[in-house]
A and B are shown apart, each in its own frame.
Chain A
Amino acid sequence: MDWTKQIIRYVIVMLLQVLLFDRLQLGGVCHPYIYVLCLLMFPITLPHSVDMLLGAAVGLIMDICCNSLGIHIAACVLLMFIRPYLLGAIVNDRDRLNEQISLRALGLGGWIEYVVILVVIHHFAVFQLGAWGWSHIGFVLLSTLVSSIVTISIIVAYNMLKFK
């Protein structure tokens, strides 16, 4: 596994997140968190608990950048916790997954299922924890829907480019 590649991708995606997507004024319900791309594309060679610690670190850096200490940590750890179970449910033959999580290994249907489920769970967790209570649930659901669509489109576009 190429660690430098992972780190360079993370730095670029994080810069895009903080410099571009956090600054776009796209109305109150559109906050795409594209940095989850790095977590989704992260290889599954490491132990599960190390994966979750990495998720916590990625979440902490995001939290520091947007003054929301704890929220992104919780959402990223949740994402990294669910990830191997979801992959196990989608792919029967785990040997095909030993390195990269790619379109080729998962198949188009499985790959989209994987991205959509994890992005929606992560975004819902971020917005719900931000609202901290059930009184804004309509607003939270709408934010989750709109933001997830944007994030998923960007992740799909990124993988299309990579395949060409």
Chain B
Amino acid sequence: MQNLIKILLRYSNFLVFIILEVAAFMLISRNNAYPRSSMLSTANALIGWQHERLSNIGAYFSLRSQNEQLAAENADLRNQLSAIDSLRNDESMHYTPAKAVQMTTNKMHNYITINKGSSDGIQRGQGVRNSEGVVGIVRTVGHDYSIVIPIINTHTNLSCRFAKNDYIATLQWDGKDSRFAQLADVAAHMVVCPGDTIVTSGLSPVFPEGIPVGIVENSVLKEGASYYTIRVRLNTDFKRLKYVEVVQNAHQEELEELNHGLD
């Protein structure tokens, strides 16, 4: 027994090292797809508050481009107002405006922190869009802040369709350029042209159908391959993202319960 204690004491530094590293690896693997804890992430009230103050300061420097974006959005809204009758059919969708207070665009796993949380009715799994197109999906919800996984995160899979013929495909991101994503599952018999519009499919309750995602930049069909390699120019300009809307689908819970029932 004494020998054992002696050995433990002799290697105590190494033991501390191993224990700390094992703990860190457990945290990484548990946390790998997205931040799970709203305390130990930017959804934390203190860190979120600090980022919000900072982004408020930064906002003064981009007033001009923000104004332009808001003007464009106003115009877009006026257009939609004229088509209000068609919108009436979709009363189950509710939009909550929010502001991105912190985000990264140049990592493989990018996240956006927004200044709305459970106190504003935000729930995990809700979609996030802006006036340009799809932004991402809410994954971690704190009381006043939430973390969104944008489509420019290598863990994202977004169900999309071609606007021209409703062909379904999956949008993924390779971690390299925040302006471009990749489209998977497009079989070789499809005719894909640069300029084809990609929109959300409406197959999941996260996003309603037809929100713009991007435009096909180029497509390559390798010799003998049965699927295309397609590069999509994203509509959303993530580097200048500031104002977003959280899509709240009144039927989301019901639809998800139905899906779980199938598994």
Contacts and interface: CB of A to CB of B under 8 A. Distances in A.
Interface stretch (A2-10, A65-73, A99-107, A113-121): A65-73
Given A31-B107, A66-B104, A52 B25 contact: no
Contacts of A96: none
A136 B154 CA distance: 12
Interface string B159-192: 0000000000000000111000000000000000
B16 A67 contact: no
B186 to A, nearest CB: 22
A67 B41 contact: yes
A38 B138 CA distance: 35
B41 A73 contact: no
Given A28-B177, A64-B44, A77 B20 contact: yes
A28 B154 CA distance: 14
A136 B35 contact: no
Interface string A118-150: 000000000001111000100100000000000
Q: Of A22, A31, A69, which is in contact with the most chain B CB atoms at under 10 Å from its CB?
A: A69
A43 to B, nearest CB: 17
B41 A130 contact: no
A27 interface: yes
A28 B106 contact: yes
B40 interface: yes
Interface string B11-27: 01100110011011111
Nearest to A80: B17
B28 A132 contact: yes
Given A69-B35, A70-B25, A77-B21, A48 B176 contact: no
Given A69-B28, A136-B175, A64 B41 contact: yes
B42 interface: yes
A49 B12 contact: yes
B193 interface: no
A63 B17 CA distance: 19
A74 interface: yes
A31 B108 CA distance: 12
A52 B47 contact: no
B32 interface: yes
A92 interface: no
Nearest to B34: A67
Interface string A10-37: 0000000001001001111001000000
22 contacts: A31-B107, A52-B20, A56-B20, A64-B40, A64-B47, A65-B47, A66-B104, A67-B41, A67-B109, A69-B31, A69-B37, A69-B40, A69-B41, A70-B31, A71-B28, A73-B23, A77-B20, A78-B21, A130-B107, A130-B108, A131-B108, A136-B175
Interface of A: 19, 22, 25-28, 31, 47-49, 52-53, 55-56, 59-60, 63-71, 73-74, 77-78, 81, 129-132, 136, 139
The 8 residue pairs across chains A and B that have the minimum distance between CB atoms:
A70-B27, A70-B28, A74-B24, A49-B16, A73-B24, A69-B31, A48-B13, A77-B20
